Amino acid sequence: MLLIPGGQKADEGEDTDLSGDALKAKLRRKKKSSTDERLITPTASGPSYTVSMSIVRNVTAIAKGMSITFGEIFQPIQTENYPDGKGPMKGAKFQPRFRGAHQLQRDENGLEKCVACYLCAAACPSNCIYIEAADNTSEVRISSSERYAKVYNIDYNRCIFCGYCVEACPTDAITHGHGFELATLNATNLVMHKDQMLVPVEALTAK
C-alpha cells in the first residue's frame, strides 16, 4: 500500500511505478468515475421514491389551490359593477380624497373665486394651465377681486393630477372633483374650458 499526500492510499504493484503527480491525477479520475456511476446508477429505492414524492407534491398543490378557489366562491363580491351599477355614479365608488377632474368654485355670493393670479399655472409641473385675465367693471362683476379669469383651460392630455394647482391657489378657487370619465378618441376634447369646470350657480342653492 502506498500512502500519498492527503491521506489517500493506492494499491501496490499497480501504481508504485508512477510519480507523485501522476498518481494523484489517476486517483482523481477514479474518484470522479465512481461519483458519476453513483449519479447514473439507479438505487433500489431512488427513482420510484422520486416519482412518488412528485405525485404527492402535485396533488397537494392542486388540493391547496382548489381549497382557495372554493373558499372564495362563497365570499361577497368585491368588484364594482361600473358602468352598469345604480345611481348617478353608475356603480363607481371613490375615496373622499380621490383627485378627479378640476372644478372652479364660486363664493357664497355666486361670484367666481378665481382672481386670475396665475399662481396655479406657475405651480403646475406639466405647464397645462392656460389663463387669460380680464378686469372686473362696475357694470360687470365676475369675481370679488380686481380681476377674473376670462379664459381658464386645463389640458388633460398633460395633467398628472398632482394637485399642486389646488395647493397653490390662495382663494380655494380650483379643487379636484370626482369626475373621471375623461376618456376620448379625440385629444382636443381633453382640453377643458372654464365653462366645463365652473360650478353652476344652482349648485350653491342646492347645498
Footprint on this chain of ligand SF4 (rule: CB under 6 A): 114-120, 123-126, 128-129, 131, 149, 154, 159-165, 168-169, 171, 173-174
Cβ 61 to ligand SF4 shortest distance, Å = 47
Q: Minimum CB separation from ligand SF4 for residue 163, in Å?
A: 5
- Taking the least distance from each CB to ligand SF4, the nearer of 23 and 143 is 143
H/E stretch holding 155: strand 147-155
Q: Are 130 and 146 in contact (CB under 8 A)?
A: no
Beta bridge partners of 148: 134
**What are the φ/ψ torsions at residue 167 (nearest 5 degrees)?**
-65, -35
Q: Decide whether 10 or 102 has the Cβ nearer to ligand SF4.
A: 102
Integer CA distances (angstroms), 113 to 94, 106, 116, in order: 26, 5, 9
Comparing CB distances to ligand SF4, the nearer of 65 and 110 is: 110
Q: What DSSP assignment string belongs to 163-186?
A: -HHHHH-TT--EEE-S------S-
Residue 28 or residue 141: which is nearer to ligand SF4 going by CB? Answer: 141
Query: Considering the complex, what minimum distance in angstroms separates the CB of residue 174 from ligand SF4?
Result: 4
Q: Residue 2 or residue 133: which is nearer to ligand SF4 going by CB? A: 133
Three cell numbers written together for 150:
376670462
- Report the distance separating Cα 126 and Cα 59, nearest Å: 55
Nearest approach, Cβ of residue 76 and ligand SF4 (Å): 35
In whole angstroms, what is the distance from residue 131 CA to residue 149 CA?
6
Instruction: Write down the least CB distance from residue 201 to ligand SF4, Å.
Output: 18
Angle at 132 between CA 206 and CA 197, to 5 degrees: 25
